[in-house]
């Protein structure tokens, strides 16, 4: 109701808007309790509900899922998707690259306070080499035969696995499968791996897994 007053809504309209938002964000029962008793997920939902009182068309969300458990994080993702579906433009900062991949139409990668890359998730991933097909074997003899035959593959003797460079396209995958058939190589397990946004961030910023970055990744609808 305080937010309704700040937006100069008539008392009756303000109560109606508040009631609708509390119901939308599953906070009807929680509204009877002090906000200081809310869980992290409830507080995030309350923050967004209060923001929506004025029916904004642009919303800035600063790391809205930090500290949330997996269920609450996915609930927040659904709320953000619904906002976008309603025509709201959302600017989201997050350090969870999976979150940017799930939610963002466009992504800007920040490093040292500067934008070092911008585009869709798929476009950013295509900039980074490293896609491959992984073949895993259970029979060491078959594995050694594959090592000898597939000269272009990178070997992992401990896991009895080989990696063949691949961009991940359907045409390229079909070509590699035909090639494997022609050589008589049959792996026990075949998986396709393409670069993810973690790979993108490390490649663009020069960071490594052991040198975790502190900069945010910004996502925008």
84-110 residue pLDDT tens: 998 999 999 998 999 999 999 999 999
pLDDT digits (tens, 9 = 90+) for 181-209: 898 888 999 998 888 888 888 888 875 44
Does 5 have pLDDT greater than 50?
no
Q: Tell me where in the chain the CATH 3.40.50.300 domain(s) lie.
A: 2-125
3-state secondary structure 170-195: HHHHHHHHHHHHHHCCCCCEEEEECC
pLDDT mean over 139-151: 91
pLDDT mean over 48-71: 85
Q: What integer pLDDT is reported at residue 137 of this predicted model?
A: 94
Q: What integer pLDDT is reported at residue 56 of this predicted model?
A: 83
- Between CA 18 and CA 2 the distance in angstroms is 10
212: helix, coil or strand?
coil
What percentage of residues in the chain have a pLDDT greater than 70? 85
pLDDT digits (tens, 9 = 90+) for 150-168: 888 899 999 999 998 887 7
Q: What is the pTM of this model?
A: 0.64
* CATH topology classification for 2-125: Rossmann fold (3.40.50)
| Distances from the Cα of 117 to the Cα of 5, 55, 73, 111, angstroms | 41, 32, 26, 9
Q: Tell me where in the chain the CATH 3.30.70 domain(s) lie.
A: 129-193
Does 211 have pLDDT greater than 70?
no
User: Beta strand pairing status for 58-62 and 89-94?
Assistant: parallel
Does domain 129-193 bear CATH number 3.30.70? yes
Q: What integer pLDDT is reported at residue 76 of this predicted model?
A: 86
């Amino acid at each position: 109701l305080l937010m309704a007053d700040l937006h100069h809504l008539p008392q009756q309209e303000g109560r109606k808007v508040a009631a609708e938002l509390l119901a939308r964000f599953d906070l009807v029962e929680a509204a009877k309790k002090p906000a200081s008793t809310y869980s992290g997920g409830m507080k995030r939902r309350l923050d967004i509900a209060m923001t929506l009182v004025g029916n904004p068309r642009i919303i800035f969300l600063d790391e809205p899922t930090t500290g949330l458990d997996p269920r609450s994080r996915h609930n927040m993702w659904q709320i953000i998707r619904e906002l976008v579906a309603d025509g709201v433009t959302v600017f989201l900062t997050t350090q969870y690259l999976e979150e940017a991949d799930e939610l963002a139409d466009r992504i800007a990668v920040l490093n040292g306070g500067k934008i070092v890359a911008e585009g869709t998730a798929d476009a950013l991933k295509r900039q980074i080499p490293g896609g491959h097909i992984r073949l895993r074997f259970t029979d060491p003899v078959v594995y050694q035969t594959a090592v000898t035959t597939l000269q272009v593959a990178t070997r992992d003797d401990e896991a009895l696995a080989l990696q063949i460079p691949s961009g991940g396209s359907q045409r390229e995958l079909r070509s590699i499968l035909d090639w494997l058939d022609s050589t008589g190589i049959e792996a026990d397990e075949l998986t396709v791996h393409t670069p993810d946004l973690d790979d993108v961030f490390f490649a663009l910023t020069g960071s490594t897994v052991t040198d975790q970055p502190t900069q945010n990744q910004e996502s925008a609808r």
